[in-house]
């Protein structure tokens, strides 16, 4: 299944070694961009493009999320995973000191590394930086366990990235309303120790990304009912967002 491999990002401890920094072309940036190259290497033009997208995105995001951590490390590596469903790029966030965003780019994506970077790297940076702002990370997570919590926090990051980049991915788009409402009911009835892989990635019944799609639906429903934008919702607790969405 396409999304199974993405689970590795959330359950594995990845060793970052042999990292080489690209020149920082933006002196005002607080983000350090490095490349982990253990065999497969980014070309100089790819590094230049990645550096440009990451730093431009950071500057844009800081205007929207002024409480973003002062310094952020972004480390990128090439993988051979099947990431077509997410545009060839995926990521993971850790609230280390300084915080770390790990980005994996698949060289199996149609068009290769450059096409994947052009397609969704900006979307991924917006998504992962929102997690840093929100405190939704693998380590030092500020939130309680539960798929209901995960759905809201992932939904906020999805909507934030979609609203401010103008891009979206079908894999995390909300289903039809009647299906979404059933998924909301299922998620809210789950025990706190429900299987994260099943509900956020690949469910045994064949459904994929239930938590992401439902979170997107919930956040947009809360926005419509309350008149608040995604930035305002980002200041609220998951329970408050559920209430604004009518639950």
pTM for the model: 0.87
Give me the residue spans of the domains in the chain.
4-134, 147-244
Q: How far is CA 84 from CA 91, 141, 150, 160, in A?
A: 14, 28, 23, 22
Q: What is the torsion angle, in degrees rounded to the nearest 10, for the CA atoms of residue 215, residue 236, residue 126 and residue 162? A: 50
How is residue 131 written in tokens?
Answer: 């997690």
Per-residue pLDDT of the chain (247 residues; tens, 9 = 90+): 444 344 333 333 333 333 333 444 444 567 899 999 887 899 999 999 999 999 999 999 999 999 998 899 999 999 999 999 999 999 999 877 789 999 999 999 999 999 999 999 999 999 999 999 999 987 778 898 999 999 999 999 999 999 999 999 999 999 999 999 999 999 999 999 999 999 999 999 999 999 999 999 999 999 999 999 999 999 999 999 999 999 9
The CATH number, out of the four listed (2.50.20, 1.10.3470, 3.40.30, 3.30.420), of the domain defined by the range 4-134: 3.40.30
């Amino acid at each position: 299944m396409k999304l199974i491999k993405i689970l590795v990002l959330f359950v594995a401890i990845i060793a970052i070694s042999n990292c080489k920094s690209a020149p920082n072309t933006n002196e005002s940036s607080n983000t350090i961009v490095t490349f982990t190259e253990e065999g497969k290497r980014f070309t100089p033009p790819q590094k230049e493009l990645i550096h440009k997208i990451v730093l431009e995105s950071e500057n844009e995001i800081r205007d929207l999320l002024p409480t973003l951590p002062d310094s952020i490390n972004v480390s990128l590596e090439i993988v051979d995973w099947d990431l077509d469903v997410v545009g060839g790029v995926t990521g993971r966030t850790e609230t280390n000191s300084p915080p770390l965003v790990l980005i994996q780019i698949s060289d199996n994506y149609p068009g290769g590394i450059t096409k994947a970077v052009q397609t969704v790297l900006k979307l991924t940076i917006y998504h992962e930086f929102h997690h840093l702002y929100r405190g939704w990370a693998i380590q030092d997570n500020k939130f309680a366990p539960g798929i209901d919590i995960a759905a809201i926090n992932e939904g906020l990051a999805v909507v934030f990235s979609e609203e401010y980049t103008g891009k979206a991915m079908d894999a995390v788009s909300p289903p039809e309303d009647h299906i979404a409402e059933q998924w909301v009911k299922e998620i809210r009835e789950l025990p706190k120790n429900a299987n994260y892989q099943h509900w956020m990635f690949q469910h045994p019944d064949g459904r994929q990304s239930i938590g992401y799609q439902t979170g997107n639906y919930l956040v947009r429903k809360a926005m419509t009912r309350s008149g608040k934008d995604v930035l305002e919702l980002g200041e609220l607790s998951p329970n408050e967002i559920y209430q604004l969405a009518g639950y």
